[in-house]
Amino acid sequence: MNKSKDFLRRIVQEDLNAGKYPQVHTRFPPEPNGFPHIGHAKSITLNFGIARDFQGLCNLRMDDTNPTTEDTAYVEALKDAVEWLGFKWEGNVRFTSDYFPEIYAYAIELIKMGKAYVDSLNDEEIREYRGTVTQEGKRSKYADRSIEENLDLFERMKNGEFPDGTHLLRAKIDMAAANMKMRDPILYRIRHAHHFRTGDSWAIYPLYDFAHCLSDYIEGITHSFCTLEFENNHDIYDWVLDTLNLTPPRPYQYEFARLNINYTVMSKRKLLELVEKGIINGWDDPRLPTIAGYKRRGYTPESILNFCEQIGIAKANSMVDVAQLEFAIRDDLNTKVPRVMCVINPLKVTIINYEGSEEIEASYYPHDVPKEGTRKLPFSKEIYINKDDFSENPPKGYFRLTPNQPVRLKYAYIITCQEVIKDANGDIIEIKAIYHPDSKSGSDSSGIKVKSAIQWVEAKSAKKVELRLYDRLFKDEIPEGIEAINPDSLKIIKDALIEPAVITDRPDERFQFEREGYFYADPIDYHDGAPVFNKIVALKESSAKKKKAPKTAERPSKKVQIDGEVTPMTAEEETRFEYYTKELKLNSEVANTLARDTKLSRFFQEALKIHNSPINLANLISNEVAREFKQKESLTFTPIQIAQLVKMIDEETISTKIAKEVFEAMSKSGENPEKIVQEKGLIQISDPAQILPIINDIIAKNPDNVAKYQAGNKKLLGFFVGQTLKATGGKANPKVVNELVGKRLGE
């Protein structure tokens, strides 16, 4: 199917291929301080999914380092979520708190190495000393304490001798680091708090940055996936594991973008607010994006899983459209659940020419769902249809019952409206109709054409049910606060009518109520005497039935982008630039790149001494060599070698294409260019007599593309050139090939 792997799977694959780890081992590491939501589901599918795909393992670990916010109720919800999604964690559920003794020992190790110290500044001072994003911080005066003193203080911190906030263990890194997270990060704080697992045995607790990487290491995790906001913490992750000199292999952290969905909120803080303020009914309110909410609403685990796979993994902050999630659940339920008839807003219909009663056998599944099962539909002269399925003054394109338009009662007869009965207010309260006895479904010989078939229930046998119709929780795509709550997010219908088999036979717990949507028997409030169904999602509505949405067709004018100011050159750079443009005749862009970069310009000057070809040298250096400087600490090749390479281009021994290849080899091995060319036999082929047969062959093999090209798709020239070049191992002279291909295809 989708053969392209996401970037994380690609990394795992490469590491496995390189033999970096014998087996991949991931982990899902939530903090048990809130209910898991669909963002967690993305992380769960990612971590467990990668482990599954590469025959590896995945742990479930509670990151419980903050005793004041965490609770065992949340760990249960987290376990439920993973299980519900169908994953199995390796071994027991892990807890960071299980590693407190080990983490403590590592802290002591760091102190002994002189890499950590006990600080005794108060919180205000700590903040002050940290500096700002533009200003360096300064080191605490306590940073110079002796190892012995640090050891002593730290032990007494652990023993609970000091009150909260008096001392801290910090890593000794760099208070001037550009990455603020590296300004002597805090490793341990004193907290005289009851922990839900360790009780009162600890007076100090490690912070995320110290505990997380070590927990990963302790568990033998190979790839530690987390969300983008931890990118700044990446350096600490590496610092801790590296300075501790742990026996390899060790885990590495990789970041991906968290999930956002429009018309909802995903942050734990906002979710907690909704729950605590009673705006919704608890963590499992079906309007919430929590796993518990989706579960209660009737979403299937498969649909959530499919959704998570469809949206992909990447590093760009993004906002997924709810429509994508709704597609996932419809798509899943479509082939699974029975169709039944429910009338949400009943309108009585009396069939004046029908006497007695009958039972009609009807399939639970439409023709395109390969499942078996039927039920009996009672039928008599009194039935109910949905109010919207009758229109006295129908708009254009209305398919259902009108005074002049008959309609089919699904699985039963065609009826024609005879009389519309209204109450004192003029509201329609009943329809009198006639049925056509020869129009029965399956044996219709009436010849009457109808435009649609509607759902109905028989009056006496129908059961009353409560329907909870859910809609998006917020009006705004990106809700700012609870003011944006959608007032119609929950509509309760107390007296909908449903066909009896649904209640008496209970063939399933999820149904499609025909022409309405998918519904789920509420797992908590449903009772046989008082059935309750939650609306999972509406059926998709084609535009014809929708109230024609006003088409807003404004052409987004191409936005003009203002260019900012370019930083001016220094005097020295200016001189170089003048020289390059005036004397050496370099184009200004290349000259600019070279002039502004001391390393590059020096490299250029050196190479120029060997081979006097300023333009070609400058081009190669300002592009290819510049990249190497950017990516690598030190270069594997010298200006002399680059000069030799350019010389070969100038002499047309090799093409620019080959030059790129040679350059790549040089950057890997540092070999001389001549040697590389010799060894690989990269001398270019420019003889048309040699190239032409290859081109002919390729043209013969790709008639479709030839036709497309000749029809005007000139981009395909690149395709043919590329193919030819590939066939010659890159040795054909691209200029010649280009010319030849163009000529051949033009014929």
Partner RNA sequence: UGGGGUGUCGCCAAGCGGUAAGGCAUCGGCUUUUGGUGCCGACAUUCAGGGGUUCGAAUCCCUUCACCCCAUCCA
**Residue (297 or 400) nearer to RNA, CB:** 400
Nearest to 333 by CA among 284, 380, 297: 297
Q: From the list 92, 248, 367, 583, which residue makes contact with RNA (rule: CB under 7 A)? A: 367
List the one residue from 241, 514, 577, 740 that touches RNA (CB under 7 A): 514
From 220, 312, 403, 688, residue interacting with RNA (rule: CB under 7 A): 312
**Cα–Cα nearest to 215, from 188, 256, 251, 255:** 251
Report the amino acid identity of residue 704.
D
Q: Is 355 a catalytic residue?
A: no
User: Which pair of structure tokens corresponds to residue 13?
Assistant: 């694959």
Residues in the chain: 747
Q: Which stretch binds RNA (CB under 7 A): 240-248, 271-279, 428-436, 708-716?
A: 708-716
Query: Of the candidates 160, 403, 500, 734, which one interacts with RNA according to CB under 7 A?
Result: 734
**109/243 Cα distance (integer angstroms):** 10
In order, the DSSP letters of 93-126 are PEEGGGGHHHHHHHHHHHHHTT-EEEE---HHHH
Q: Which of 9, 27, 31, 330 is catalytic?
A: 31
Active site residue 258: yes
Instruction: Decide: is 61 part of the binding site for RNA (CB under 7 A).
Output: no
Amino acid at 395: P
Is the bond preceding residue 249 a cis peptide, omega within 30 degrees? Answer: yes
436 scored as a contact of RNA (CB under 7 A) = no
Cβ proximity to RNA, 381 vs 660, nearer residue = 660
Q: How far is the CB of 398 from RNA (least distance, A)?
A: 5
Task: Say if strands 463-470 and 186-190 run parallel, antiparallel, or are unpaired.
Answer: unpaired
Tokens standing for residue 603: 């490299």
CA dihedral of 80, 84, 90, 94, whole degrees rounded to 10: -20
Nearer to RNA (CB atom), residue 336 or residue 475: 336
Residues 667-686 that bind RNA (CB under 7 A): none
Region from 5-13, 153-161, 667-675, 686-694 binding RNA, contact rule CB under 7 A: 5-13
How many Cα atoms sit within 13 Å of 583 on the Cβ side? 8
Residue 719 in contact with RNA, rule: CB under 7 A: yes
Q: 25, 57 in Cβ contact below 8 A?
A: yes
Among 603, 655, 666, 694, binds RNA (CB under 7 A): 655
Q: Does the footprint of RNA cover residue 611 (CB under 7 A)?
A: no
Binding to RNA (CB under 7 A) within 578-597 occurs at 587, 589-590, 592-593, 596
Among 198, 418, 441, 653, binds RNA (CB under 7 A): 441
Half-sphere exposure of 543 (CA within 13 A, CB side): 4
**Of 79, 197, 258, 660, catalytic:** 258
Spatial contact of 218 and 238, defined as CB atoms under 8 Å apart: no
270 contributes a contact to RNA by CB under 7 A: no
> By C-beta, is 137 or 286 nearer to RNA?
137
Q: Does 156 bind RNA (CB under 7 A)?
A: no
Q: Which stretch binds RNA (CB under 7 A): 83-91, 227-235, 275-283, 680-688?
A: 227-235
> Closest separation between CB of residue 528 and RNA, Å?
26
Answer positive or negative: Cα dihedral of 476, 477, 481, 487: positive
Q: Give the span between the Cα atoms of 68 and 506, in whole angstroms.
A: 46
> Is 65 a residue that touches RNA (CB under 7 A)?
yes
| From 20, 79, 115, 268, active-site residue | 268
Window of 19-27, 42-50, 51-59, 535-543 that interacts with RNA by CB under 7 A:
535-543
Locate 229 and state its tokens: 């906001």
Contact between 646 and 617 (Cβ < 8 Å): yes
Could you give the 3-state DSSP secondary structure of residue 402?
strand
Judged by CB under 7 A, does residue 410 bind RNA?
yes
Write out the binding residues for RNA, residues 70-99 only, by CB under 7 A.
none
The encoded tokens of residue 262 equal 């429009």
Q: How far is the CB of 423 from RNA (least distance, A)?
A: 25
For residues 445-474, which are near RNA according to CB under 7 A?
452-454
CB of 502 closer than 8 Å to CB of 463: yes
Of 446, 377, 375, the C-alpha closest to 406 is 446
Minimum Å gap between C-beta 418 and RNA is 21
> Given the complex with RNA, which of 23 and 324 has the nearer CB atom?
324
Write each residue from 368 to 397 as x if it is in contact with RNA (CB under 7 A), else as -, in one continuous string.
Answer: xx---------------------------x
Determine if 168 is a binding residue for RNA (CB under 7 A): yes
* Residue 381 near residue 460 (C-beta atoms within 8 A): no
Residue 362: phi and psi, rounded to 5, are: -135, 140
Contact between 228 and RNA per CB under 7 A: yes
Task: Give the interface segment with RNA, choosing from 87-95, 287-295, 521-529, 533-541 (CB under 7 A).
Answer: 533-541
Is 147 among the residues that bind RNA (CB under 7 A)?
no
281 scored as a contact of RNA (CB under 7 A): no
Q: Is residue 324 close enough to count as binding RNA by CB under 7 A? A: yes
DSSP 8-state assignment for residue 412: S
Say whether 155 is catalytic.
no
Nearer to RNA, 262 or 486 (CB): 262
Asked if 162 is part of the footprint of RNA (rule: CB under 7 A), the reply reads no
Binding mask 108-137 for RNA (x = CB under 7 A): -------------xxx--xx--x-xxx---
Q: Considering the complex, state which of residue 382 and residue 650 has its C-beta at the smaller distance from RNA.
A: 650
Query: Residue 638 — φ and ψ, nearest 5°?
Result: -110, 165
Least distance (Å) between residue 227 CB and RNA: 8
CB closer to RNA out of 85 and 590: 590
Query: Strands 374-380 and 456-458: what pairing?
Result: unpaired
CA distances from 425 to 421, 428, 429 (A): 11, 9, 10
Minimum CB separation from RNA for residue 527, in Å? 27
**549-578 residues near RNA, rule: CB under 7 A:** 561-567
User: What are residue 99's phi and psi, to 5 degrees?
Assistant: -95, 5
- For residue 374, give the 3-state DSSP assignment: strand
Interaction between residue 746 and RNA (CB under 7 A) = no
Q: With contacts defined by CB under 7 A, name the span among 36-44, 151-159, 317-325, 428-436 that binds RNA.
A: 317-325
634: contact with RNA by CB under 7 A: no
**Widest distance between CA atoms in the chain:** 109
Enumerate residues 170-189 that contact RNA by CB under 7 A. Answer: 178-181, 186, 189
# residues contacting RNA (CB under 7 A): 134
Tokens 């290819």 map to which residue?
Answer: 624
User: Amino acid letter at 733?
Assistant: N
- Among 87, 99, 154, 208, the residue binding RNA under the rule CB under 7 A is 208
d(CA 96, CA 208): 10
- Residue 386 near residue 349, CB atoms below 8 Å: no
AA identity, residue 179: N
Return the number of the residue (85 or 595) whose C-beta is nearest RNA. Answer: 595
Please choose, from the candidates 177, 176, 158, the residue with its C-alpha nearest in 3D space to the C-alpha of residue 168.
Answer: 158
211 in Cβ contact with 63 (< 8 Å): yes
Q: Which residues are catalytic?
A: 31, 258, 268
